[in-house]
């Protein structure tokens, strides 16, 4: 792949891609992540590493090991959302690639992402194939799915990799390994820092849906992911609390009016089923606190809703078409990738 180098206003060359890594208590995974980036076959990129107030020394070690990359100390834990926004404002590339510090990119990851931008020149957001690091035969995710009940999930999580090779359209891209046009990211206000972490990438993808911007998954762009290494695992109290609260807020914030009232009973029912599952596991505390926090902060969620709905340019039907309508998809965490289709019509 050949490409003419871009230049900034001063005439200096700027990279095609800015890779953004937010580190918080990442330990040895950060070094592995950065070594995988250093081995990329596509070399026209920069890396911005944001240290979210880590005390484990990993970001400092990374700064010594990779001195040519940009290393920024946030001074406190800004959450994934705040850390990414800080990095995006410092980035210089046309494209920003987000990757978790516990995700390890295959050597052609960036090359495959850039190939996707050339194959789909009108598309401005792309996702990757994520495999479980401990067992690459299993998916960590192949695009994010939004069910018609308003419950999001990572497509194919811990299911066998189906071996898809053709690009397709998903509801949204997982923020653990994605590519997005930087100007569009900034125009949308970046990630919503009120969410702090968990579901902030689904929220971003939903806001793209509201303005008629599709997300394409590029299965040949592959990373291996350990998953929630800094937060104690996917079932930690921290992860479950924020995931539960933010799932409710994202539903309230982004669901278009007609679709909101049609899907609200389904959302309540699905939330009840998920909570019953948590009770059966003896894990009711964190999800209950998340539900309580979501309702206690409903003023915040409604303010977020006013902001998001003011940008909406497509109909409820256009959004619903991008969702999964099968309950089995949700409860079996099935991959939902559809053929690429034209942009939806603008709402009246």
Residue 228, pLDDT > 60, answer: no
pTM of the model: 0.92
Residue 144's DSSP bridge partners are 154, 172
Residue 234, pLDDT > 80, answer: no
Kindly give, in sequence order, each residue whose CB lies less than 8 Å from that of residue 307, ignoring residues fewer than 6 positions away.
253
Read off the pLDDT band of 13 (50, 70, 90). confident
Strands (E), the chain: 6-7, 13-14, 17-23, 45-51, 70-73, 95-99, 103-105, 125-132, 135-142, 144-146, 152-154, 168-170, 177-181, 215-225
Q: What pLDDT does 236 receive?
A: 85
> To the nearest whole number, what is the mean pLDDT of the chain?
93
Rounded Cα gap, residues 114 and 57, in angstroms: 33
Residue ranges making up the domain that contains 264: 237-313
Read off the pLDDT band of 283 (50, 70, 90). confident
Chain length of the chain:
348
Query: pLDDT tens digit string along 285-312?
Result: 999 999 999 999 999 999 999 999 999 9
Read off the pLDDT band of 2 (50, 70, 90). very low
| Mean pLDDT score, 45-60 | 96
Residue 69, pLDDT > 70, answer: yes
In a domain, 37, yes or no: no
In a domain, 14, yes or no: no
DSSP string for 187-200: HTTSS-TTS-SSSH
| Mean pLDDT score, 42-48 | 97
| Mean pLDDT score, 226-239 | 69
Main-chain dihedrals φ then ψ at residue 281, nearest 5 degrees: -90, -5
Q: How many domains does the chain have?
A: 1
Read off the pLDDT band of 162 (50, 70, 90). very high
Q: What pLDDT does 348 receive?
A: 44
Name which of 167, 205, 215, 158 is nearest 333 in CA terms: 158
In a domain, 321, yes or no: no
Return the structure tokens found at 120: 């789909």
In a domain, 13, yes or no: no
Buried b (16+ CB within 10 A) or exposed e, 52-71: bbbeeebbeebbeebeebbb
Rounded Cα gap, residues 314 and 186, in angstroms: 21
Rounded Cα gap, residues 132 and 164, in angstroms: 16
In a domain, 157, yes or no: no
Query: pLDDT tens digit string along 164-188?
Result: 999 999 999 999 999 999 999 999 9
In a domain, 242, yes or no: yes
| Mean pLDDT score, 38-62 | 97
Rounded Cα gap, residues 301 and 263, in angstroms: 17
Share of the chain above pLDDT 90, in %: 88
Residue 262, pLDDT > 60, answer: yes
In a domain, 251, yes or no: yes
Query: pLDDT tens digit string along 103-141?
Result: 999 999 999 999 999 999 999 999 999 999 999 999 999
Read off the pLDDT band of 248 (50, 70, 90). very high
């Amino acid at each position: 792949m050949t490409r003419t180098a871009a230049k900034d206003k001063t005439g200096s060359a700027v990279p095609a891609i800015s890779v953004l890594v937010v580190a918080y208590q990442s330990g040895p995974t950060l070094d592995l992540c950065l070594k995988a980036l250093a081995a990329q076959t596509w070399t026209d990129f920069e890396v911005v590493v944001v240290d979210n107030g880590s005390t484990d020394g990993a970001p400092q070690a990374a700064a010594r090991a990779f001195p040519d990359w940009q290393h920024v100390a946030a001074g406190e834990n800004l959450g994934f959302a705040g850390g990414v926004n800080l990095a995006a404002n410092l980035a210089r590339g046309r494209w920003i690639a987000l990757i978790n510090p516990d995700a390890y990119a295959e050597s052609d990851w960036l090359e495959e992402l850039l190939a996707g931008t050339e194959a789909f020149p009108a598309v401005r957001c792309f996702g990757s194939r994520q495999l479980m690091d401990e067992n690459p035969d299993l998916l960590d995710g192949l695009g994010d799915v939004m069910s018609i009940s308003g419950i999001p999930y990572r497509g194919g999580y811990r299911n066998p990799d189906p071996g898809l090779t053709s690009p397709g359209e998903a509801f949204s891209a997982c923020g653990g390994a994605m590519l997005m046009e930087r100007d569009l990211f900034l125009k949308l206000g970046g990630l919503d820092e009120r969410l702090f972490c968990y579901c902030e990438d689904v929220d971003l993808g939903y806001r793209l849906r509201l303005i008629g911007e599709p997300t394409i998954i590029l299965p040949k762009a592959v990373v291996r992911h350990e998953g929630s290494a800094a937060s104690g695992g996917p079932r930690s109290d921290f992860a479950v609390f924020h995931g539960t609260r933010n799932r409710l807020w994202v539903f309230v914030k982004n669901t278009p009016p007609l679709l909101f009232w049609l899907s609200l009973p389904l959302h309540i029912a699905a939330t009840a089923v998920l909570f019953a599952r948590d009770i059966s596991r003896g894990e009711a505390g964190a999800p209950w606190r998340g539900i309580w926090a979501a309702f206690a902060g409903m003023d915040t969620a409604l303010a977020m809703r006013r902001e998001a709905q003011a940008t909406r340019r497509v109909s409820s039907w256009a959004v619903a078409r991008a969702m999964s309508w099968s309950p089995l998809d949700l409860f079996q965490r099935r991959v939902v990738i559809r053929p690429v289709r034209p942009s939806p019509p603008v709402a009246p």
